């Protein structure tokens, strides 16, 4: 279904169109009971809310992949916890990290924070804000069709800006736009789409 969202991403507070009990196999059984061939789709508004959360989620994952390029799975990691995790591994002889690895991770973290700072990113504030946005808006439930409109739209900074503009209240809009700008910059740096599945 979805990538490893990490344990700190709680269930979204955005309105649910499909009850949790109807996901997965339950969704299929429900479609048989009511005589439909497909499970009900989310409303456009609910999907757009999830896009806002996905922007934050993708930025969190992208930052982690830059700092920890040798880790395939980042389950249990989030940007907010990087300094604590690195400090903890320094005192934990069983962490498996050498001093050189730890220093390399910390250096990448500092360099990346400095790279994002001109866009307004503050490593002391925005990691918690990212978590708040993901928990508030949720994340996309499924990978989009790679040949459809969604795949193109989710890689269009203009489209994503319009979603943020429409869905995010004014008090959080500038910070959400900044998260999108950071994600866009990192996607340009590595040449990959903004939403990596």
Give the residue extent of every domain in the chain: 43-190
Return the residue matching tokens 């429900």: 30
Distances in Å between the Cα of 182 and the Cα atoms of 1, 12, 38, 66, 72 are 26, 23, 37, 13, 22
Phi, psi of 174 (to 5 degrees): -60, -40
What is the pTM for the complete model shown? 0.75
* pLDDT value at residue 108: 92
The alpha carbons of the chain give a radius of gyration, in whole angstroms, of 18
| Contact present, 133 and 179 (Cβ < 8 Å) | yes
* pLDDT value at residue 39: 45
Instruction: List helix spans (H) across the chain.
Output: 25-34, 44-67, 82-91, 99-116, 126-137, 149-153, 157-167, 170-190
| 112, 74, 129, 44: CA torsion to nearest 10 | 120
* pLDDT value at residue 84: 78
- Of 106, 100, 90, 175, nearest in space to 136 by CA: 175
143: its two tokens = 């990978």
* Euclidean distance between CA atoms 151 and 135, whole angstroms: 23
- Walk along the chain (197 residues) and give the pLDDT tens digit of each residue: 444 444 444 433 433 333 333 333 332 333 333 344 444 567 889 999 999 999 999 999 999 989 888 776 666 678 888 877 777 765 555 556 778 888 888 899 999 999 999 999 999 999 999 999 999 999 998 887 777 788 889 999 999 999 999 999 999 999 999 999 999 999 999 999 999 87
| Contact present, 137 and 14 (Cβ < 8 Å) | yes
């Amino acid at each position: 279904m979805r990538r490893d969202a990490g344990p700190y991403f709680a269930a979204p507070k955005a309105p649910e169109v499909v009850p949790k009990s109807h996901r997965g196999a339950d969704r299929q059984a429900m479609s048989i009971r009511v005589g439909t061939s497909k499970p009900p789709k989310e409303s456009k508004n609910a999907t757009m809310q999830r896009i806002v959360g996905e922007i934050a989620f993708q930025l969190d994952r992208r930052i982690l992949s830059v700092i920890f390029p040798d880790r395939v799975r980042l389950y249990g990691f989030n940007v907010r916890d990087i300094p604590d995790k690195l400090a903890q591994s320094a005192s934990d002889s069983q962490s498996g990290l050498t001093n050189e690895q730890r220093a390399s991770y910390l250096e990448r973290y500092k360099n990346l924070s400095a790279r994002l700072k001109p866009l307004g990113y503050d490593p002391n504030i925005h990691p918690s804000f990212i978590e708040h946005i993901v928990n508030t808006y949720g994340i996309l439930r499924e990978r989009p069709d790679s040949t459809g409109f969604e795949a193109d739209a989710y890689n269009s900074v203009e489209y994503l800006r319009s979603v943020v503009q429409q869905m995010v209240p004014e008090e959080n809009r500038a910070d959400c736009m900044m998260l999108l700008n950071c994600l866009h910059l990192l996607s340009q740096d590595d040449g990959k789409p903004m939403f990596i599945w």
